[in-house]
């Protein structure tokens, strides 16, 4: 899991004395101290949530809930460990719960996957159709498979990181990811077969 800091380096994965001080002050009753943690981590957390649930409104709601949960359970946090991975796990768990509750159907206008209009019109149509088919296929995956696929492709997590975040064995992660990819290929096969036939027709 690579988390960008303000200076472009991955710096949220080690314990921070500043975070420790802010947490201690919060637990002592200074709620403004917790605001410094919110300000520090809200952008990377929002980006992580947006990559999973896609819609701004959903990611924003989950971000707020993540910080509420973190505040309520702050006494459970081990201050000898880095704070961001703990926050990130809360966010991912909330996103998984959200995906289980929702049909997760997105308006096509929000997919942000269309080529520019400078491209060839045939390529525009084919690319748009493919990515729409891909998004629809992802939505049809069982939530457990969809979760590992999104964490892998949109969060860039390793098998070990996914195992830790989801609380499952690495072998289970690998199995779910393999099944997700196999299911995607199966769901996309009709689209790809149709595209192949169209290309043959054009060539002739």
In 10 A of CB 107, how many CB atoms? 7
User: What does the alpha-carbon distance between residue 138 and residue 156 come to, in Å, rounded to a whole number?
Assistant: 17
The encoded tokens of residue 106 equal 């997105």
Which structure tokens are listed for 89? 């796990």
Domain match, 37 and 98 both = yes
The predicted-structure confidence for 120-176, as pLDDT tens digits, reads as follows 444 434 455 666 677 788 888 888 988 898 888 877 788 888 888 888 999 999 999
Whether the CA torsion 78, 82, 84, 86 is positive or negative: it is negative
From 104, 138, 155, the end of a domain falls on 104
Q: Please tell me whether residues 5 and 88 are part of one structural domain.
A: yes
Contact by Cβ (8 Å): 58, 78? no
Domain span holding position 115? 111-204
CATH number at residue 171: 1.10.10.10
Chain position carrying tokens 């949109």: 154
Considering the domain architecture, whether residues 95 and 118 belong to the same structural domain is answered as: no
Q: What does the pLDDT read at residue 197? A: 60
Cα–Cα distance for residue pair 27/200, rounded to 1 Å? 68
pTM, 2 dp:
0.57
CA gap 44, 157 in Å, rounded: 14
59 in the same domain as 119: no
Three-state secondary structure call for residue 4? strand
Write the pLDDT tens digit of every residue in 68-99.
Answer: 999 999 999 998 889 998 998 899 888 878 87
Side-chain-facing half-sphere of 38: CA atoms under 13 Å: 16
pLDDT by residue (tens digit) across 30-75?
989 999 999 999 999 998 888 888 788 889 999 999 999 999 999 9
pLDDT of residue 195: 59
């Amino acid at each position: 899991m690579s988390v960008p800091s303000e200076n472009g380096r991955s710096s949220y994965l080690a314990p921070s004395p500043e975070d420790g001080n802010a947490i201690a002050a919060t637990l002592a009753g200074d709620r403004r101290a917790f605001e410094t943690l919110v300000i520090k981590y809200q952008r990377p957390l929002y980006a992580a949530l947006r990559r999973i649930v896609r819609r701004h409104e959903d990611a924003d709601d989950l971000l707020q809930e993540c910080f509420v949960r973190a505040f309520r359970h702050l006494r459970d946090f081990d201050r000898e460990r880095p704070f961001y991975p703990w926050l990130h796990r809360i966010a991912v768990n909330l996103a998984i719960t959200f995906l289980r509750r929702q049909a997760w159907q997105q308006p096509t206008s929000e997919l942000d996957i269309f080529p520019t209009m400078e491209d060839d019109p045939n390529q525009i149509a084919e690319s748009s159709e493919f990515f729409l088919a891909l998004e629809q296929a992802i939505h049809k995956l069982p939530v457990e498979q969809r979760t590992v696929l999104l964490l892998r492709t949109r969060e860039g997590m390793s098998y070990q990181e996914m195992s830790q975040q989801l609380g499952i064995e690495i072998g289970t992660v690998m199995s779910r990811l393999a099944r997700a990819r196999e299911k995607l290929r199966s769901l996309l096969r009709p689209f790809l077969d149709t595209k192949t036939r169209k290309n043959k027709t054009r060539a002739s």
